[in-house]
């Protein structure tokens, strides 16, 4: 068996913990990073050089909430080909790993989606790391765009489907006011990444769910009870808990920038994660799509129904990182970690993904000074922008 060639990514600025660093080269062999070395290291003599033209080199982005992209919606056709198309659309924006997300649907559709993701991972579809099942165990009072006619409580068949052996991560958004701590504990103990969202729970109910195994919160602030002076609600429980993760949609529409800054200041470092909640218009020239029989239109990056209900977003991960820097005032290194290192830890891949270090998967994104993606690498394969 012929060994994979050694590739040296040179003439770039490698993003470190405290900002970009010059004079470094990243060595890639096969699917993994072999080493990060000085650009005069003797190993470069035997390597194939890949010129980064002075651009920034960051760890690839990991998005744990992707409903669609490239004109495709996962719910419409939960197949390997749909996943391939969605991943390709988001790859243009630096997303090298994702959890394709199934919005509230039937039990049969949920099983189809779980099987499709398993098949995609087996076939090594670039970027598919698992699945996010958002619903149907949600609260009608905080339904958002979800179809409340399909809401229900999990039965044994649902639990068995979710906890069966799967090839990737399984994240499940549920409402703690609709699902008991005992069921949450069973799901969590059997490997499901349980998160709270679309919930009308109070603080005590949410705290009990956290104690039972809830690991985080889906699109913090949206579709949950707010923080009040005498009623902390779900948001208060999320910000008060030091261990849980919070997904943040940083698009300037879902949550005010000041409100996002408050969350980041309140949470322990490493617990705020950038997500997109992306819909089919991302990576497509088609602004409209149909969800639950409703026509949704994206205008100015906002996806809304005719009644004005937010329906996911038109956000991509490159824009989320750019917004975190420009809108929230975060250092690029921290915004990058919120898009790579922290989500990898949330889904249990902190030893293989989300960092630029020897032994980690060679998932990388090349960006210019405007933080526009110029090139994406997934498992050691380059995908240049057209």
Which phi and psi (to 5°) does residue 131 adopt? -140, 150
Q: What does DSSP say about strands 216-217 and 193-196: parallel, antiparallel, or unpaired?
A: parallel
300 catalytically annotated: no
Active-site annotation holder among 63, 158, 277, 363: 277
The alpha helices in 298-364, defined as continuous H runs, are 317-326, 332-339, 341-346
**SS3 state of residue 337:** helix
Long-range CB contacts for residues 300-308, cutoff 8 Å, separation at least 24:
301/251, 301/253, 302/251, 302/253, 303/279, 305/145
Walk across the sheet containing 169-174 and list its strands: 61-66, 95-103, 130-134, 169-174, 193-196, 216-217, 245-249, 272-275
- C-alpha 314, offset from chain centre: 14
DSSP bridge pairs for 68: 73
Distance CA 51, CA 233 (A): 51
Residue with tokens 């009308």: 200
The helix, strand and coil proportions of the chain, stated in percent and rounded to the nearest 5, come to 30, 30, 45
Residue with tokens 């190993």: 43
Distance CA 289, CA 280 (A): 7
Distance CA 31, CA 20 (A): 24
End-to-end CA distance of the chain: 33
Distance CA 340, CA 272 (A): 11
Catalytic residues: 277
């Amino acid at each position: 068996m012929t060994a994979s060639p050694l590739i040296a990514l040179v003439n770039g600025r490698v993003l470190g913990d405290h900002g970009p660093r010059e004079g470094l080269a990243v060595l890639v062999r096969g699917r993994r990073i072999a080493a990060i070395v000085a650009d005069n290291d003797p190993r470069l003599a035997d390597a194939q050089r890949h010129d980064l033209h002075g651009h920034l080199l960051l760890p690839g982005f990991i998005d744990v909430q992707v409903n669609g992209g490239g004109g495709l919606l996962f719910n419409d056709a939960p197949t390997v080909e749909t996943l391939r198309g969605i991943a390709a659309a988001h790859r243009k924006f630096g997303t090298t790993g994702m959890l394709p997300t199934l919005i509230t649907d039937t039990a049969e559709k949920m099983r189809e989606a779980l099987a499709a993701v398993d098949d995609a991972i087996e076939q090594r579809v670039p970027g598919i790391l698992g699945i996010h099942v958002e619903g149907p165990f949600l609260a009608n009072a905080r339904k958002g765009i979800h179809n409340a006619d399909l809401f229900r409580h999990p039965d044994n068949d649902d639990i068995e489907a979710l906890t069966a052996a799967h090839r990737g991560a399984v994240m499940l958004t549920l409402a703690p006011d609709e699902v008991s701590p005992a069921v949450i504990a069973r799901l969590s103990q059997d490997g499901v990444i349980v998160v709270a969202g679309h919930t009308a729970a109070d603080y005590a109910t949410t705290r009990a769910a956290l104690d039972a195994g809830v690991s985080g919160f889906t699109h913090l602030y949206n579709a949950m009870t707010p923080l009040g002076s005498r009623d902390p609600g779900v948001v208060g429980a999320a910000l008060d808990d030091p261990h849980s993760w919070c997904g943040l949609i940083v698009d300037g529409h879902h949550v005010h920038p000041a409100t996002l800054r408050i969350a980041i200041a309140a949470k322990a470092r490493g617990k705020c994660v950038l997500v997109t909640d992306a819909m089919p218009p991302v990576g497509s020239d088609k602004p409209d799509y149909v969800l639950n029989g409703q026509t949704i239109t994206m205008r100015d990056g906002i996806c809304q129904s005719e009644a004005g209900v937010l329906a996911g977003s038109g956000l991509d991960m490159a824009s989320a990182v750019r917004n975190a820097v420009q809108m929230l005032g975060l250092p690029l290194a921290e915004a990058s970690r919120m898009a790579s290192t922290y989500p990898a830890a949330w889904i249990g891949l902190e030893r293989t993904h989300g960092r630029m270090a020897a032994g980690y998967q060679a998932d990388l994104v090349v960006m210019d000074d405007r933080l526009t993606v110029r090139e994406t690498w997934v498992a050691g394969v380059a995908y240049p922008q057209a």
